């Protein structure tokens, strides 16, 4: 019997995202952000109430469908240092996009170009999030998600979706949001069909 | 040397359970059964021993109308497992390759 704590930890993390509900939640949040960008007055209440709305709903669904099948595990709470890390990463992503645009467009780097390229910034944020999840779970699907987010961000940054400042970002978030909801639902349905409910007395 | 090795943790099934609980915050019975491959009765018996030693905390509640049990490692359990890992490392330290 070999005890590999890192492997045990990786498997535990992997179990927490097997049901596909995380993808559905991410997709819905991105779609909600896309709607909120269209009406900025909603932004502050939306961000403030998001955790209060999403966590109980997810928990109810998991109590009904996920926990009776694979059990429940609570992974350790996020290290407070990580919040600082996320903030630094976001600033670095913003700086990277700005610097790249400056080198590509030079004098032609206007606010219009900046707004049009906002999907690249969002794509880099998603890249960071999925790289973190890949390191925790070891699951290759997060690599695919990261590639998908960055590649589509690049494509959406090259398009012109209208005069509105946030048009490109809204279109990108809508596209990625819909995609994640669909992927998540497909994963969830497959999970429910393929994983039987455990026998009585296993709670 | 043998005195330094915690026999309660050293037993293979309990070592599996404690290792699992060490890397997470808490888990229920079903999760532990799936991860360790132990039967319900076996797991229950090992957890009772660990609970009596103060190494694990067992919390019982309900999901809907069904009873649900969450298990977590206590601070004492974490300290004991850290000491166990250190002791096991010392056992093999200095051995010729």
Q: What is the mean pLDDT of each run of 10 residues along chain A (203 residues)?
A: 85 89 89 75 69 79 92 85 85 88 81 85 91 89 94 88 78 93 96 86 54
The residue in chain A having the minimum alpha-carbon distance to the alpha carbon of residue B11 is A1
Distance from CA of A36 to the nearest CA of B (A): 35
- Chain A hits for B35, Cβ within 8 Å: 8, 11-12, 15
Query: Domains of chain B: which residue ranges?
Result: 2-90
What's the pLDDT at A59?
A: 86
Q: Which residues of B touch chain A, with CB atoms under 8 Å apart?
A: 12, 15-16, 19-20, 22-35, 40, 63-64, 66-70
Q: Rounded distance, CA A175 to CA A32, Å?
A: 12
What's the pLDDT at A178?
A: 94
Interface test with A, best of B15, B21, B23 (most A CBs within 10 A): B23
Q: Examine the predicted complex and report whether its ipTM is higher than 0.90.
A: no
Among the partner residues B19, B24, B66, nearest to A73 by beta-carbon distance:
B24
Beta carbons of A67 and B19 less than 8 Å apart: no
- Chain A hits for B47, Cβ within 8 Å: none
**Mean pLDDT of all residues belonging to chain B:** 90
What's the pLDDT at A29?
A: 85
- Chain B hits for A203, Cβ within 8 Å: 28-30, 63, 66-69
Contact between residue A175 and residue A151 where contact means Cβ atoms under 8 Å apart: no
If you average pLDDT over residues B7-18, what whole number do you get? 94
- Here the tokens at position A172 are 């990108």
Q: Domain B2-90 carries which CATH code?
A: 1.10.10.10
Q: Which residue has the tokens 């030079």?
A: A106
Beta carbons of B24 and A5 less than 8 Å apart: no
- Chain B hits for A137, Cβ within 8 Å: none
Rounded to the nearest 10°, the torsion over CA A18, A70, A59, B64 is: 160
Which residues, including other chains, have CB under 8 Å from residue A112's CB and lie 6 or more apart?
Answer: none
Q: Which residue has the tokens 């809508």?
A: A174
Q: Cα–Cα distances in Å, from A29 out to A14, A25, A36, A122, A180?
A: 21, 6, 10, 13, 10
Beta carbons of A73 and B26 less than 8 Å apart: yes
What's the pLDDT at B57?
A: 96
Q: Cα–Cα distances in Å, from A30 out to A44, A117, A156?
A: 15, 17, 15
What's the pLDDT at B41?
A: 94
Q: How confident is the model at residue B82 (pLDDT cuts 50, 70, 90)?
A: very high
What's the pLDDT at A39?
A: 65
- Chain B hits for A68, Cβ within 8 Å: 30
């Amino acid at each position: 019997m070999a005890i590999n704590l890192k492997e045990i930890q990786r498997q535990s993390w992997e179990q927490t995202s097997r049901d596909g509900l995380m993808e559905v939640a991410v997709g819905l949040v991105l779609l909600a952000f896309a709607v909120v960008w269209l009406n900025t007055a909603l932004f502050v209440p939306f961000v403030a109430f998001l955790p209060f709305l999403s966590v109980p709903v997810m928990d109810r669904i998991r109590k009904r469908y996920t926990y009776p099948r694979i059990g429940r595990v609570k992974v350790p709470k996020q290290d407070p240092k990580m919040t600082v890390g996320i903030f630094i990463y976001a600033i670095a992503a913003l700086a990277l996009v700005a610097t790249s645009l400056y080198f590509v467009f030079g004098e032609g780097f206007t606010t219009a170009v900046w707004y049009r390229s906002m999907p690249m910034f969002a794509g880099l944020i998603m890249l960071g999030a999925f790289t973190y999840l890949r390191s925790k779970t070891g699951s290759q699907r997060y690599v695919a998600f990261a590639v998908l987010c960055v590649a589509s961000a690049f494509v959406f940054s090259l398009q012109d979706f209208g005069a509105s400042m946030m048009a490109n970002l809204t279109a990108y978030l809508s596209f990625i949001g819909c995609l994640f909801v669909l992927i998540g639902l497909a994963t969830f349905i497959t999970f429910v069909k393929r994983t039987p409910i455990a026998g009585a007395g296993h709670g | 040397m043998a005195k330094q090795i915690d026999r309660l943790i050293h037993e293979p099934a309990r070592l599996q359970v404690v290792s699992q609980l060490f890397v997470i915050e808490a888990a229920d019975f079903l999760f532990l059964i799936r991860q360790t491959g132990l039967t319900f009765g076996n797991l229950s018996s090992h957890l009772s021993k660990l609970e009596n030693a103060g190494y694990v905390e067992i919390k019982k509640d309900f999901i809907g109308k069904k009873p649900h049990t969450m298990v977590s490692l206590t601070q004492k359990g974490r300290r004991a497992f850290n000491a166990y890992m250190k002791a096991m490392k010392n056992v093999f330290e200095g051995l010729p390759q």
